[in-house]
């Protein structure tokens, strides 16, 4: 089997490539390094079954050739991180929607299977907890750039499912819930690496909002293994799956836990959303997945709790200068 990963030099993409290579698979990646990093794949370059292309997925001829070579495509290339979304909404919308269009245009020609990485953001402002795959989405107003990411990922899903229904292009959609682990950076607002780096360097640990908002953090290893299993499960085609953990923690408790684990003297500081992002910024108070569908489909069960995840991230950042 041959695999193509778009966004393969990113945090999740590089972990996926590594896992596939450990299984002796042929792996191709494409990444323009806009949010991915060459350091993430440096250790893979010596593997003769690893092939990387530093290029945009909007280069049609390059993308077409890579898709032709692959049996399964993992489409992870996307604009990511709340800060990037707020500051560069045009890039967010174009990268997400046009990127998915390009992938399916070429995958459809030879009916290549496509796994689409979506997001819990598509649930929007819904307060129906836990989130189930067939729940309604509740989006904020178009006047707030923050919702452009959620809407663009929802359109990605609509497009993917349209290709499945109309043209029978094999499609699987995974909605990720706060995937974390080594190699993730805090550059675009990812909370755990940002908190850890602040704690280790003695800077204030900055919580946006009240800190009473809660999230469920999943190990990237669990997520990657689930992606691979779903991509090889015939019954998963044309389906949407939540992928993550249902272990909930408030951001305040997360900050305290990181401070304790790093033995940091950093003060914890709260910053209003308006100051951190933009005026009138809206956030979800809770983001908890219902995992019953993916458990039934592939026997999925998160293997790492929040303490194990934090220990791995802290160790990585301590040992990595540019983390």
Give 233-251 pLDDT, tens digit per residue.
999 999 999 999 999 999 9
Give the predicted TM-score (pTM) of the model.
0.94
Which architecture characterizes domain 2-179+218-245+288-302 according to CATH?
3-Layer(aba) Sandwich (3.40)
Annotated catalytic residue 149: yes
Residue 74 pairs with which residues in a beta bridge?
5, 115
Predicted local confidence at residue 297, as pLDDT: 98
Whole-angstrom Cα distance, residue 82 to residue 74? 23
End-to-end CA, the chain: 33
Residue the block writes with tokens 């933009």? 278
268-271 vs 218-219, strand pairing mode? unpaired
Which pLDDT does position 81 carry in this prediction? Answer: 67
Point out the catalytic residue in the list 149, 163, 208, 277.
149
The predicted structure's pLDDT at residue 323: 53
* pLDDT digits (tens), the chain, 323 positions: 999 999 999 999 999 999 999 999 999 999 999 889 999 999 999 999 999 999 999 999 999 999 999 999 999 998 776 767 777 888 888 889 999 999 999 999 999 999 999 999 999 999 999 999 999 999 999 888 888 889 999 999 999 999 999 999 999 999 999 999 998 886 656 899 999 999 999 999 999 999 999 999 999 999 999 999 999 999 999 999 999 999 999 999 999 999 999 999 999 999 998 887 777 778 889 999 999 999 999 999 999 999 999 999 999 999 986 55
Position 34 scores a pLDDT of 87
Extents of the domains making up the chain: 2-179+218-245+288-302
DSSP 306: H
**Beta bridge partner(s), residue 4:** 28, 73
In the chain the beta strands, taken as DSSP E runs, fall at: 2-6, 26-31, 50-54, 72-75, 113-119, 171-176, 179-180, 205-208, 214-216, 218-219, 239-243, 248-250, 268-271
Per-residue confidence (pLDDT) for residue 188, from 0 to 100: 59
What pLDDT does 88 receive? 80
Q: Report the alpha-carbon distance of residue 1 to residue 283 in Å, rounded.
A: 41
* Predicted pLDDT at 189: 63
The secondary element (H helix, E strand) that includes residue 155 is helix 147-167
Task: Say what the pLDDT of residue 276 is.
Answer: 76
Q: What is the SS3 string spanning 32-51? A: CCCCCCHHHCHHHCCCCCEE
């Amino acid at each position: 089997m041959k695999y193509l990963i778009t966004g393969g030099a990113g945090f999740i993409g590089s972990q996926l490539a590594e896992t596939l290579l450990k299984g002796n698979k042929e792996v191709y990646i494409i990444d323009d390094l806009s949010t991915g990093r060459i350091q993430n794949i440096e250790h893979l370059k010596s593997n003769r079954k690893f092939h990387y292309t530093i290029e945009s997925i909007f280069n049609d001829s390059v993308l077409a050739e890579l898709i032709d070579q692959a049996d399964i495509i993992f489409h992870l290339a996307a604009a990511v991180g709340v800060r990037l979304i707020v500051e560069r909404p045009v890039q967010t919308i174009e990268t997400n929607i046009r990127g998915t269009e390009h992938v399916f245009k070429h995958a459809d020609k030879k009916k290549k299977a496509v796994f689409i990485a979506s997001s819990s953001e598509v649930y929007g402002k819904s307060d129906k907890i836990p989130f189930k795959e067939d729940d309604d989405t509740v989006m904020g107003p178009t006047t707030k750039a923050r919702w452009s990411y959620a809407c663009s990922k929802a359109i990605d899903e609509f497009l993917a499912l349209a290709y499945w229904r109309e043209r029978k292009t094999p499609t699987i959609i995974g909605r990720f819930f706060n995937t974390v682990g080594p190699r993730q950076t805090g550059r675009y607002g990812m909370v755990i690496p940002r908190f850890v780096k602040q704690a280790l360097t003695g800077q204030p640990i900055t919580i946006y909002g009240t800190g009473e908002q809660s999230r469920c953090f999943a190990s990237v290893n669990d997520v990657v293994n689930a992606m691979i299993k779903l991509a090889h499960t015939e019954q998963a085609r044309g389906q949407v799956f939540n992928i993550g953990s249902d272990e909930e923690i408030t951001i305040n408790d997360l900050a305290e836990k990181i401070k304790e684990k790093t033995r940091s003297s950093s003060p914890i500081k709260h910053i209003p959303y308006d100051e951190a992002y933009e005026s009138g910024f809206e956030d979800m108070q809770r983001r908890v997945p219902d995992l019953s569908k993916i458990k039934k489909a592939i026997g999925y069960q998160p293997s790492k709790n929040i303490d194990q995840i934090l220990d791995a991230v802290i160790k990585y950042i301590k040992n990595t200068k540019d983390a």
